[in-house]
Structures are given as structure tokens and as C-alpha cells.
Structure 1
Amino acid sequence: MSRPIAKDHDVKRAHILKIAARVFADQGFARASMAQVAKDCGISKANIYHYYSSKDALLFDILDTYLSALRDRILGLDMTGLDPSDQLGRIVTETLRAYEGMDHEHKIQTEGIPLLPADQQKILKAYQRDLVTQMSRVVAGIAPKVFDDDTRKLHATVMSIFGMLNWFYMWNRTADHQARDEYAKLVTRLTLSGVRGL
């Protein structure tokens, strides 16, 4: 007979994911241990294995939870009636807002994804690809003649936008909502001016 799921299972799982993300980000995934995660969560090592069979399983759930939520949030934006320029501003602003409070999850993506099995990497990279595809569609709509039949230039432009957003995360982790929105406006203006000047 299988063990029943506790009523607070989802709450405890969310707590474990948040603490584990911090431990993995601070110590590096290779050095971090399940024992340390359990200690920081205030639970026994045996209890954490009730939720996750391995450190890899825990890493995947952290990244899957984070990236799927980010993808759904950004792709779910209502763009009705917005021209491509306004769509860009909306995406950039919402992305920076979504990064708030997710520093550890964001940090462990680079190290963590390549360490996972190929099938799990495929799932996580698909979330990232969806975000890039959406941004590419919007940027191409801003200046169609610039990017017509030049996918390399479009890709370079889109990745440069994400680079600016990720730079802000790295150097302004304590920024509040207003600071994020102001930087979003700056990135949008820089992108619009730059794209139209290509």
C-alpha cells in the first residue's frame, strides 16, 4: 500500500525547492549535499529523500518549476492591441519582474542544466527556446526589413537583449520593483533605437 500524500506536501516541497536552490547556488551543485539541504530546510536527511530520490532529481525539479513558470508567465502576456514596440516593452518589463526573488534559481541554470540527463535537458531547453522564439517574433516585427532572411542577425539581437536583462540580475539583485521597471524602459529604448539603426 502506497504512503498517502501529506496535506502540506506541496508547501513543504516548495520550501525544499527554495532552500535547495540557495544551497546549490551558494556552494555549487557538485559540492552541495542533500544532507546540507536537509539541514537548512530544518528536516531530516531521510525526510528529504521522501520527496526526492537524488540530488539530480531535486535539481531538475528546481529548474523545471522555475523555467516552466517563467515561460508560462511571459508567453501568457496579453498582447492584444499592442504594436511590436509595445510588446517588446511588455516582455522586457515582465521578465525583469519575474526574475525578482529568483536569484538562486536563475544562477544555477548555467551550471545545472548540462549536468542533467539529455531528456531532462531537452525539457528545460524547450522552455528557454519558447522564450527566445517569442522575443524573436516581436523583434522581427519591429524592423522586418532589417531581419528579413537574416536569422543570425535576429538571433544575435535577441540574445543581446537577454544579455542586458541577465546583466541586471547579476549586478542589481536587491533592486526593487521600480528600479526593475525603469531598467526595462532603458533596455526597450536601447533596443528600439539600435534595431532601427541597423
Structure 2
Amino acid sequence: MIETSLTLFEQHGFHGVSVNEIVKECGTSKGGFYHHFSSKDELLFVIHDYFISYVLTKAQEAISASAHPTEKMQKIIQSFVKVFDLYKPHISVFYQESIYLKPPYVEAIKKKRQMYKEIIFSVIQEGIDKGEFRSELPVEITGMSILGMVNWSYKWYKRDGGKTIEEIGEIYVDLILQALLTDKQKKDAITQPYLLKNQMVVD
């Protein structure tokens, strides 16, 4: 049902598609639709929730599984980038149609997005506190820059492009860590396998 809705919303827009058209296209009934969703608004919210829940879960896993802020940031960025491949239709539809969401759903979305933002900020601050990241970088501006840069991927990423999503993730990791890491941390990269894996170039 969600996949059918994504296709129809992409083609005709949120208001250009009725519940009747959704259930007809996917071969179910209106009763089946309303068993899962109270309204089209809830359906649009669930479409967003798929991808924000994915990146939030992956970020929380990175924090739990990794001791070093550098490694945490690497894993967070890689999972963040991967979402644009896993949930590309969801993201495209959400950004095109999110203006139609009602306030309760908007607030629920803002809450999860704020949680994700705070994870990014906390990892940057931890990296500064532990001497891995440059202390002169303002945490919030740096975090918002990372979010903005990676988020824009939904505008240009194509599955049949010249780079795989994993290769694009490695490029983002390299760009962001080169900006974040202290000179000492870059020179110490040879002792840190999670940096070497991304082939960071150190003078």
C-alpha cells in the first residue's frame, strides 16, 4: 500500500490522489486502508517515519557500538547517506508533499528530527572534548552544515549514476572528517583502521 501510494503521489501529488485510487491500484479495500491508516495524512507521516526512524536507529547504534567520536561520526554519515538509496521515493514524496501535513504530524516529525540533530551535535562536542575534532569549530553550525550537505543528496542522487551509494558515503566521510579532525588526529590515522578504511589522505 505504501509503495503504491509513493508511486501515485510522485505522479499526481498528494491532493491529486484519493484513498479510492490508492486501494484500487493496490488491489485492497478502503476498510483495509483504514485498518492501517486513519487518513492520508497519517500515511504521509508514516512515509516520513520510515526513513527518519532508520537514520535515528543507526545513529543510536553507532553511539552504543563505538568508543571514538571519529568512528561514531563515520558510521552516522554512512547510514545517513545510505537512506537516500533505501528510501529515495519516500524522501522525494515527503519533501514535495510535507506542506500538507496537519500540525500533530508535523510536531511528531520535528521531534524525531530534533533527536537526530542532537545526536550529531553531541558527537561533534564529544570529538572536541576528546581532542579528535577541531575545537575552533562551532558545534551547531558544523552540525547543521553536515545535515544540510548530506540532506541535499536527495536532489541529485541516482541509483544508476557513476558511483554506488557506498562510494558516495565514503566520499562524504572523507570530506567531513577532513574538515573535523585535528592535524594530530589526521597524522594518527595510521593507527586507526576505521580511518584507513576510507583511504584518508594524510600529508
How does the TM-score come out when normalised to structure 2?
0.71
8 A Cα contact 2:42 2:105, kept in partner = no
Q: 2:119 & 2:160 partners in 1: Cα distance?
A: 26
Partner SS state of residue 76, structure 1: helix
Q: 1:154 & 1:39 partners in 2: Cα distance?
A: 49
Show CA shifts across 1:45-64 (max 9, x none): 45434433422122223223
8 A Cα contact 2:59 2:75, kept in partner = no
Q: Is structure 2 residue 136 aligned with structure 1 residue 146?
A: yes
Alignment match, 1:27: 12
Structure 1 residues 50, 80: CA separation in 2 closer, same or farther (over 3 Å shift)? closer
8 A Cα contact 2:84 2:157, kept in partner = no
Q: 2:109 & 2:156 partners in 1: Cα distance?
A: 25
How many residues were matched structurally? Answer: 176
Structure 1 residues 89, 69: CA separation in 2 closer, same or farther (over 3 Å shift)? closer
How does the TM-score come out when normalised to structure 1?
0.73
Q: 1:195 & 1:29 partners in 2: Cα distance?
A: 40
Q: 1:26 & 1:76 partners in 2: Cα distance?
A: 36
Q: 2:74 pairs with 89, 98, 120, which one?
A: 89
Q: 1:73 pairs with 55, 58, 69, which one?
A: 58
Partner SS state of residue 152, structure 2: helix
Partner SS state of residue 80, structure 2: helix
Q: 2:146 pairs with 161, 174, 183, which one?
A: 161
Alignment match, 2:174: 189
Q: Gaps spanning 5+ residues in structure 2: where?
A: 183-203
Amino acid at match of 1:146: E
Q: 2:39 & 2:56 partners in 1: Cα distance?
A: 26
Partner SS state of residue 77, structure 1: helix
Q: 1:41 pairs with 16, 26, 32, which one?
A: 26
**Shift in Å at residue 69 of structure 1?**
3.6
Structure 1 residues 24, 192: CA separation in 2 closer, same or farther (over 3 Å shift)? same
Structure 1 residues 41, 63: CA separation in 2 closer, same or farther (over 3 Å shift)? same
**Shift in Å at residue 90 of structure 1?**
0.9
Q: 2:95 & 2:16 partners in 1: Cα distance?
A: 16
Q: Is structure 2 residue 111 aligned with structure 1 residue 126?
A: yes
**Shift in Å at residue 92 of structure 1?**
0.9
8 A Cα contact 1:114 1:121, kept in partner = no
Identical columns (%): 23
8 A Cα contact 1:161 1:187, kept in partner = no
